[in-house]
């Protein structure tokens, strides 16, 4: 408590001093240099206000004792000096800094000359301390030229005082030489002060000039650096743009190659001449078209998988079953020139992953293996359990890779294939999938020997019991899809399964149908509508039908956008078979 009291007392003690310093700085002067000098000039003027009376006090005492008569001229000069000081202080406080200093110096020299002419040099020696103020002010505030003009004027004034003393019989002096000795002493004293001030002011101004030049040099350097940075940023932007164009060209070239093959397969199966005559040929053609469409969907997922988040729905499944389901598609990708050997464990291989991502990763490896064996070969697919993991091994007898290629194996857009034959996204997508699944991947490869990809995935806890199959019979479904052909296919599939379907191609039409409908059990809506925001559309229709469930069809990760709609929303990623939509609608429509 005592320390707090002492600190408070200290603050109170210094509060008047702080107020006085603030008063000195509070002057309406625009020039920053003059504003910094203003407190010092005011202090000098205030000292003179006090100094002149104090220095005159001995003379007043002598006069009061009757030792000497009153010298009215001296008193007038002192009074004029004090008046001049107050006048200059008043001008300075009004913001006239330079005018105040110039007037102070001029009046000081005039009054000094009058005083020396009246009393002589010897009588003024005791007051020369205050007479140095004009010299200091002139040198510091008005420059070297003013300083030496004041020195010259003061030497003349000292000479006038010396001549006055020499013409008089001054008591205490022994001859004319003593008067000139006083003149020399006074002159030398003020010359020393002037030299010191000159050197100090010159050094200060040289420092300021040097700092100014350095500042200009730094500013020029800064401008040059900024220009260089802008040029580098422009060059970097051009480099990034060129890399983007190169990457887009590489990806589009690879995708064009893949899609041309897919379209060729579809067109080939669709144009078989005997498909209309033989039932087994027609079934084979439809199966081939279906597999080709699956390859197209995989190609789209491959490019989207690296660019943005995709729908991720982990589920428990058996790796053996997934591989068995994919074998027809794998065999179509390889064709007749590559032999497929599947070595699968007799034991279940449960994992808990997104099955679509797993299939995409596997097909990316298979696609690379096919391209590595242009003249045919053997592809071995092995899956075995290993403690708490499932080990997968994909081996081909193709061209293999060099050590330099293996270093960049998982980099996006890196490919060893010829121009137009690869996008460089396959193994990068595989690495992304494995890392996301908290697994590991290792690649062994040598030129002209082949490549083996080892993938280890964490084993799942088991399989969920399949939920009973639900029916859509009697469900009232509002289908919103802007693509007319797809809308017709989906509506026909739902109607064939027994649902009552209202179909719309836009958000506005969907709102109109919802307003006129008595009840809607399930809303099936494409996320990208041409005329409305899907979230707003779902909210508006949901307000009209509070018990309605929603199925949103999308290729994007829309969970963030649709999170506020809660558990009433089910996401279905494109592309899908119409029967898949029927299953999802049945599950959603029968859920509580």
CATH number at residue 574: 3.40.50.2300
**Which helix (DSSP H) or strand (DSSP E) does residue 350 occupy?**
strand 350-353
Residue 519 sits in the same domain as residue 399: no
Alpha helices in 167-313 (DSSP H): 176-270, 279-307
Q: Is residue 122 part of a domain?
A: yes
Last residue of some domain: 218, 250, 272?
A: 218
Q: Is residue 275 part of a domain?
A: no
Q: Is residue 338 part of a domain?
A: yes
**For the chain, how many structural domains are there in total?**
3
Last residue of some domain: 174, 190, 218?
A: 218
For residue 377 the two structure tokens come to 């070969």
Residue 502 sits in the same domain as residue 381: no
CA-angle at 524, arms to 519 and 528, nearest 5°: 130
Q: How far apart are CA 118 and CA 369, in angstroms?
A: 117
- The CB density around residue 590, as the number of other CB atoms within 10 Å, is 17
Task: State the Rg of the chain over Cα.
Answer: 50
Q: Is residue 131 part of a domain?
A: yes
Residue 65 sits in the same domain as residue 199: yes
Closest by CA to 580, choosing from 294, 183, 257, is: 294
On the 0-12 / 13-18 / 19+ scale of CB atoms within 10 A, 585 is buried
Last residue of some domain: 429, 458, 487?
A: 458
pTM of the model: 0.46
pLDDT tens series, the chain, 592 aa = 455 555 555 555 557 778 877 888 788 877 776 777 778 778 877 877 777 777 777 777 777 777 677 777 777 777 877 887 788 788 888 888 778 777 777 777 887 888 788 777 777 777 666 677 777 777 777 777 877 888 888 888 888 887 877 777 545 544 555 777 777 777 777 777 778 777 777 776 677 677 777 878 888 888 888 888 888 888 777 776 665 565 555 555 555 655 665 666 566 656 555 555 566 656 666 666 666 666 666 666 555 554 445 556 678 889 898 888 888 878 877 888 889 898 888 888 899 888 878 888 888 888 888 888 888 899 999 999 888 899 999 999 988 887 777 776 777 655 655 544 455 556 777 888 888 888 999 888 888 888 899 999 998 765 554 455 567 888 999 999 888 888 888 888 899 888 999 999 888 899 999 999 888 999 998 888 877 887 888 888 888 888 888 888 876 554 445 555 555 788 887 777 788 888 888 888 776 5
Q: How far apart are CA 437 and CA 356, in angstroms?
A: 13
Residue 34 sits in the same domain as residue 174: yes
Burial 42-63 (b: 16+ CB within 10 A, else e): bebbeebeebbeeebeebeeee
Residue 442 sits in the same domain as residue 512: no
- Residue 385's domain comprises 317-458
Q: What residue has token string 């439809």?
A: 286
| Cα-based distances in Å from 169 to 83, 120, 163, 357 | 33, 12, 12, 120
For residue 186 the two structure tokens come to 């006074």
- The CB density around residue 3, as the number of other CB atoms within 10 Å, is 7
Q: Is residue 280 part of a domain?
A: no
Q: Is residue 238 part of a domain?
A: no
| Cα-based distances in Å from 559 to 309, 312, 527, 539, 570 | 10, 10, 11, 15, 10
Residue 424 sits in the same domain as residue 568: no
For residue 378 the two structure tokens come to 């053997």
Residue 422 sits in the same domain as residue 550: no
Q: Is residue 526 part of a domain?
A: yes
Residue 453 sits in the same domain as residue 576: no
Residue 331 sits in the same domain as residue 435: yes
CATH no. for residue 396?
Answer: 3.30.565.10
For 449-506, what is the HEC assignment? CEEEEEEEEECCCCCCCCCCCCCCCCCEEEEECCCHHHHHHHHHHHHHCCCEEEEECC
Residue 493 sits in the same domain as residue 571: yes
Residue 41 sits in the same domain as residue 87: yes
What residues contact residue 109 under an 8 Å CB cut-off, 6+ apart?
134, 150, 153, 154, 157
Residue 521 sits in the same domain as residue 412: no
Q: Is residue 368 part of a domain?
A: yes
């Amino acid at each position: 408590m005592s320390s707090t009291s002492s600190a408070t007392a200290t603050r109170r003690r210094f509060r008047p001093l702080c107020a006085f310093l603030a008063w000195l700085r509070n002057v309406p002067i625009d020039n920053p240099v003059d504003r910094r000098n203003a407190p010092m000039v005011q202090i000098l003027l205030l000292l003179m206000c006090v100094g002149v009376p104090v220095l005159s006090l001995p003379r007043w005492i002598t006069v009061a004792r009757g030792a000497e008569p009153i010298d009215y001229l001296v008193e007038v000069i002192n009074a004029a000096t004090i008046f001049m000081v107050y006048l200059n202080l008043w001008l300075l406080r009004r913001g006239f800094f330079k005018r105040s200093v110039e007037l102070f110096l001029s009046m000081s020299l005039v009054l000094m000359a009058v005083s020396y002419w009246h009393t002589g040099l010897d009588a003024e020696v005791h007051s020369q301390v205050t007479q140095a103020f004009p010299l200091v002010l002139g040198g510091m505030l008005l420059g070297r030229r003013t300083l030496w003009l004041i020195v010259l004027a003061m030497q003349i004034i000292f000479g006038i005082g010396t001549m006055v003393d020499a013409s008089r019989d001054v008591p205490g002096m022994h001859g004319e030489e003593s008067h000139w000795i006083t003149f020399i002493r006074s002159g030398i004293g003020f010359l020393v002060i002037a030299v010191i001030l000159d050197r100090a002011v010159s050094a200060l101004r040289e420092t300021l000039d040097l700092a100014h030049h350095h500042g200009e040099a730094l500013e020029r350097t800064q401008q040059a650096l900024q220009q260089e940075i802008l040029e580098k940023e422009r060059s970097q932007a051009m480099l990034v743009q060129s890399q983007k164009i190169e990457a887009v060209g590489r990806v589009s070239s690879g995708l064009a190659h893949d899609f041309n093959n897919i379209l060729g397969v579809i067109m080939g199966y669709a144009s078989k001449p005997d498909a209309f005559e033989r039932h087994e040929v027609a079934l084979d053609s439809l199966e081939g078209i279906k597999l080709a469409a699956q390859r197209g969907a995989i190609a789209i997922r491959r490019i989207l998988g690296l660019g943005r988040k995709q729908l991720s729905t982990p589920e428990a499944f058996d790796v053996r079953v997934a591989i068995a389901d994919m074998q027809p598609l794998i065999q179509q990708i390889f064709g007749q020139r590559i032999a497929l050997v599947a070595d699968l464990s007799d034991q279940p291989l449960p994992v808990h992953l997104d099955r679509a991502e797993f299939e995409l990763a596997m097909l990316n490896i298979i696609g690379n293996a096919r391209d590595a064996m242009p003249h045919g070969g053997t592809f071995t697919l092995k899956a075995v359990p290993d403690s708490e993991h499932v080990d997968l091994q994909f081996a081909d007898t193709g061209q293999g890779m060099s050590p330099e290629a293996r270093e960049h194996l998982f980099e996006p857009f890196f490919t060893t294939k010829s121009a137009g034959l690869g996008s460089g996204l396959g193994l990068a997508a595989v690495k992304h999938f494995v890392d996301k699944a908290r697994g590991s991947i290792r690649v062994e490869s040598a030129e002209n020997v082949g490549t083996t990809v080892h993938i280890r995935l964490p084993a799942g806890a088991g399989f969920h019991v399949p939920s009973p199959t639900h029916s859509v019979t009697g469900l009232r479904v509002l289908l919103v899809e802007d693509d007319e052909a797809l809308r017709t296919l989906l509506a026909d599939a739902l109607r064939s399964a027994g649902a009552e379907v209202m179909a719309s191609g836009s958000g506005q039409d969907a709102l109109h149908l919802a307003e006129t409908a008595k009840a809607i059990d399930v809303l099936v809506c494409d996320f990208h509508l041409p005329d409305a925001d899907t979230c707003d559309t779902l909210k508006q229709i949901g307000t009209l039908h509070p018990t309605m469930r929603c199925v949103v069809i999308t290729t994007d990760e829309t969970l963030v956008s649709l999170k506020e709609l809660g558990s009433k929303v089910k996401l279905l990623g494109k592309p899908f078979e119409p029967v898949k939509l029927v299953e999802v609608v049945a599950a959603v429509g029968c859920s509580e």
